[in-house]
Amino acid sequence: MKITIAKSAGFCFGVKRAVDTVYKEIEAGKNVYTYGPIIHNNEVVSDLADKGVLVVNSLEELNTLPEGTIIIRSHGVSKNILDELSALGHKIVDATCPYVKKIHKAVMENSSAGQHIIIIGNSKHPEVEGIVGWCVGPAGCSIIESEEDARKLDLPVNTRLCIVAQTTYNYKKFQELVEIIEKKGYDIFVLNTICKATEERQLEAYELARKSDAMIVIGGSDSSNTGKLYEICKNECENTYYIQTVDDLDLMKIKSYHNVGITAGASTPNNIIKEVYTAMSEKSFEQLLEEEKVIEINNGDVVEGTVLLVKEDEVILDIGYKSEGVITRNEFTNTPNADLRTMVKVGDVIQAKVLKANDGEGQVALTYKRLAAERINKKLEEAFKNHEILSGKVAAVLNGGLSVLIDEAKVFIPASLVSDTYERDLGKYQGETIEFVITEFNPKKRRIIGDRKQLIVAKKEAMKKELMEKIQVGMTIEGTVKNITDFGVFIDLGGADGLLHISEMSWGRVENPKKLFKVGDKVKSFIKDIQGDKIALSMKFEETNPWNNADAKYAVGNIVTGKVARMTDFGAFIELEPGIDALLHVSQISREHVDKPADVLKIGQEITAKVVELNKEEKKISLSIKAMTAPEPVQEEKAEETEATNE
């Protein structure tokens, strides 16, 4: 057995500093008290108690004790407790971890500046309880322990947040929770206050667990950072064991493993780590076998064995029994003609189920695939009962839906439950990994039904709720064109659709939205109106309104040019620019009589005319072509004719 101890296992800087401080005060020969257990390790606390150190849990209790030295533990305390302790007359020695003190200072400064403090951590942990006590500002604080807490966070949108973390919190989970909070649109300031030693310890544990057959995690049962190490190791190595001392170590459980890793929490003394290592390394495999009771094997038992030999069509295992176990190809995999030499190697540890205690040739007949099927069916059943979200790879696209693999088990997702919209081509999902929930579980009939649609609907509802809480009338927003109709364009705003009506696309006329947009286009608009869950959009930004400078461009007397946009019996409307149409009355087209505009004008024809009237408030402009031509000398000619007649 190869045993590997993580480099950073054991006391961290802050814990060692706190423990050393207590032992130093003991040497001074005075009464020594710690405000709460100095660290989360029963062995250390018990040893200090044997040396006369008393654990005090309240100010009232301390008031009844003789004068002495009170040591503030590594987790720290609130500002109020620190102030009250100082007033009791005892000698105060602050052994708070410097990383925790740094959080206290940041929380006090930022809360005083009006920021709402978000503490990511365990609300019942003494470190978090202490941090809360340094939040002195009027904006208050919130403790976030889970994704559910983060999603439920409901503060005014304009709230300024300062986010800190318990020093021993899981860094990956911290990032996930911060990301959830960020999406709510708050003005946030994030301080990664997770101790670097904690990050390094968690990373080492992760790497060691990935390459180990078994992991031993040593630490106090109340230790938060040890608990996080156990979670990390358990995710990467199924055979992970949480112990406090060597007495909790069951050597029989680890006797068959080749590579065993050891890590320990920040509150675990090195001597306990050494004791565990010594116990594991001193006893030989032969000694463990001698201690082992004679085992019996019955049909249906689950056994664990080490691979001794791999053939093309069978695997031989040492299962600690008088006979070896054998798994045939058909009992190992459903893949026809599979070469087991490519799937298993000598030294692998495999769990299997006993089919026959004696297969007729003196060996134990085992099955690997049936045990695996039972386990995955159990996993799927639990997922069905708990509405757990599963993830699997699409193995086949069928006529009626998708076949998804979960550890060799097949889940069918009907086409109607693949998406919340009709999917014309399911082929795009081939080979993709998708998430779903199980809505029907009946393994006897081989009927396991999955549903992806409800996850999509739930996600969209959450996004819609988040969007509706954030948007307001007048806000500029960007979205993606989702659908185009004759009357407008529907734009995906990231949670809900907004309608950009044809009349709001431009200050000018739009005849066909399809000439301006195509599906997938990014469009910037502003919210014109919100009615319930209906959002009306507009691209007619006020700063682009062509009427803003119309009084200068189209002042009375100005000569302008435009195109005939449309005609009626009483006149023609001339488009001077997009958004500004002027009326050319039929009486102003020519000095000669014009019966109707269509007799002399055509749609799209460019004309030049004089502005004869401008009403900016009512957005009306009147033009005249006639006003540009000189009047005919009719009166003078008629006078001359009259005189000639009289003569």
Mean per-residue pLDDT, 139-157: 91
Reported as a single tens digit per residue, the pLDDT across 15-30 is 888 888 888 888 877 7
DSSP H helical ranges for 160-312:
171-182, 196-210, 224-236, 251-254, 270-282, 285-291
pLDDT at 644: 45
| Phi-psi label, residue 59: left if phi above 0, alpha if psi -120 to 50, beta otherwise | alpha
- How is domain 373-456 classified at the architecture level of CATH? Beta Barrel (2.40)
Three-state DSSP state, 319:
coil
Q: How far apart are CA 32 and CA 49, in angstroms?
A: 10
Note the maximum CA span of the chain: 158
- The answer on pLDDT for 414 being more than 90 is yes
Fold of 550-628: OB fold (Dihydrolipoamide Acetyltransferase, E2P) (2.40.50)
pLDDT at 631: 65
pLDDT at 25: 86
Q: How far apart are CA 9 and CA 225, in angstroms?
A: 11
CATH class held by domain 197-291: alpha beta
Task: Give the distance from CA 307 to its chain's centroid.
Answer: 41
The label of the residue with tokens 């009589």 reads 593
Q: How far apart are CA 1 and CA 255, in angstroms?
A: 8
101 sits in which H/E element: helix 98-112
The answer to whether the beta carbons of residues 164 and 140 sit under 8 Å apart is no
pLDDT at 286: 47
Which CATH number is 2-94 given?
Answer: 3.40.50.11270
Reported as a single tens digit per residue, the pLDDT across 266-303 is 888 888 888 888 888 765 444 444 444 445 788 889 99
Fold of 471-544: OB fold (Dihydrolipoamide Acetyltransferase, E2P) (2.40.50)
pLDDT at 360: 61
Q: Which long-range contacts (C-beta less than 8 Å, at least 24 apart) are formed by 37-40?
A: 37/73, 38/71, 38/73, 38/74, 38/95, 39/15, 39/73, 39/74, 39/220, 39/267, 40/219, 40/220, 40/222, 40/223, 40/224, 40/226, 40/265, 40/267
Amino acid at 339: D
- Do 2-94 and 373-456 have matching folds? no
> What residue ranges do the domains of the chain occupy?
2-94, 110-194, 197-291, 302-364, 373-456, 471-544, 550-628
Catalytic annotation, residues? 127
Give percent above pLDDT 70 in the chain: 94
- The answer on pLDDT for 523 being more than 50 is yes
Residue 408 — very low, low, confident or very high, per pLDDT cuts 50/70/90? low
- The answer on pLDDT for 582 being more than 50 is yes
Mean per-residue pLDDT, 462-488: 91
Which CATH number is 110-194 given?
Answer: 3.40.1010.20
Which CATH number is 302-364 given?
Answer: 2.40.50.140
Q: What is the CA radius of gyration of the chain?
A: 41
